[in-house]
Structure 1
Amino acid sequence: MLEPEIAAFVERANAFYASDHPAETVDDQRATYERFAAAFTPPLPDGVRTHDAPLTCADGQTVMLRLYAPAGRAQSKGTVLYFHGGGFVVGSLQSHDLITARIAADTGLCVVAVDYRLAPEHRAPAAHDDCLAVTRAAIDARLPFGPLPRPLQLAGDSAGGTLATSVAMRLRDEGMPGVDGIALVYPLLGIEPQLPARDTQANAPMLTLADVRRYGALYWGADVENRALAAWTIPLEASRYDGLPPVLAIGVEHDPLRDDARLFAARIRAAGGHAHAPVGAGLVHGSWRALATSPGAQWMHREVCRFLAANAARRADVERGVSRVGQPGR
């Protein structure tokens, strides 16, 4: 059953979308998504300041970034790279301004949002390549904002969860340390959603199984060979799940992607790692935008902020040689 406040959110959200929305051009879909997002985006929280700047990657690609600096940036205890959702097709720095600004305000961490390339103009692994390049630059202190505090954590919602997870796994495989935590909200982690939610929530509000498949085809393509070339971009098709930093992976009840988070966390724990995968009862995909009204969305936001802040503090303690009992996100 939907939380009452989420039912109202869904009704309001549906007003932005025509019945034939999936048949619209990609440009029209992006414009609709931006209007929808803007309707739920309040002014910046007090004390948070933004700074946009480009990063030129080693391959010559330019990626726009936005820094959300909390009040007292000099005392901030860490940085989060945030990769937005939108099925690799829609979304921007502006579309997730509500989420990134509130993370900065409520954790005291610096947050850097990444405006990666979108499909179908740029198919897999373009978005992943952009996010990997930005993460490497952050590890090497090459972001265009001056020195940012450590530790560095990755976060993302929906398709942004794929990006955050894939980047962390790729860096692990390359033996490149530097990512100290991963926070995911209703993440897409495979080509096909996992059972049982794939079937039981196939027609869920806000995101259907048909939507997942349509967006996936635009990014990865329908050709299995093309997907094989970008295998590192699909976390649930990885061969190993050890060696990752602590993970928080939140699924929501009414979402065909709900069990992606559960399965991913279970594989990490089986490999000896730390992962927590709570489920937001009564919530839907995209419900983080209902933060102003929904108790469930507020719980989800607190979980993310608590994980990021606690993990940053734990890493700081480790660097100082102080032992902190327990693991973040547990």
Structure 2
Amino acid sequence: MERINRQKHLSLMQRSAIIGQHIAGLSNGQISRSLNRATASKWVNRYVTEHSLERRPQPGQVRKLDELDLNDVAERGLDTPFINAAEVGRQYGVHRDTIRKVWNDIGLFNFVPAKKPKLTQDQRDERLGYALQNLTRYWPNVIFSDEKVFQSDSQQRLHLYRPRNCRYDERYIQPIQRSGRISAGLWGWISIDGPGEMTMINGRLNSTGYTEILEDNLLRTIDISYGGLGNIVFMQDNNSFHTSKLTRRWFSRHPELELINAPVNSPDLNPIENLWAKMVHDWKNVFPRNRARLGDYIVERWEAERNNPHYFQNLYASMPYRMQEVIDKNCGMTKY
């Protein structure tokens, strides 16, 4: 005996064929056997009682958004990048995928936000002055320095909806929140040739400790690397102990070093920050159990970068573009 097909839903053409055979005088059983379908009686009754061949909405089926809702959902996505699709879906009685489709249709897609510091107006003004002053600087003779604390990040990973190719636009950036869980700190410098030397920091660094690092590490290693200190430009940020009276006095005793201070809260203008980020990114499947082992692993990662000279050349090549982007973005954060 031929098995009757129990397909869940019939097409409109199949439903019309059922009614056509019903009008021709065939019984429901004959129609079912003729079309190999088991639902002939259902559609015959629907046609007789309702004069319709349309499927009824299923219980629990997600309702569609009307035109007003669609416009409202679209505006909310445009106005509030860090919005939650599931929460909006609950408010409209639809699934979050429905909300996401509305946003996708207007060019908004789900991404993890870039993390950048939030700038004050004074900091913006300082960035503009720095960019204008250094737009045509010769960067290959600049040494960049910085401190880095390796620590766990307790921030929740957020998502947002934004257009493509806008990752570093200010309204789509997640401000960095500082955590107090310090694991290990270091100071280091880089040149266009690669990593210089680094020094592990014990406890909180102050002006005395910083000038000792400059004396014992910076001067000695630059002299070894370059055979002297002539024509060297040294860049540091405007940290309080970088600009203290003691530190300024130390630099006054070493006029062979030309000093430039980068703007406050501007890691995107110091390429050593890219090295820190790369070290963190490459930090895989290593879980040091104590501070000493953590320090050893940091040194290992630092030394490994000596085998990557093109990386540092590319960082230095980006400096003129960083300055120009600060100007173009009205002093906001750049993509670097």
> How would you bin the TM-score normalised by the shorter chain?
under 0.3
Larger radius of gyration: 2
Bigger helix share = 2
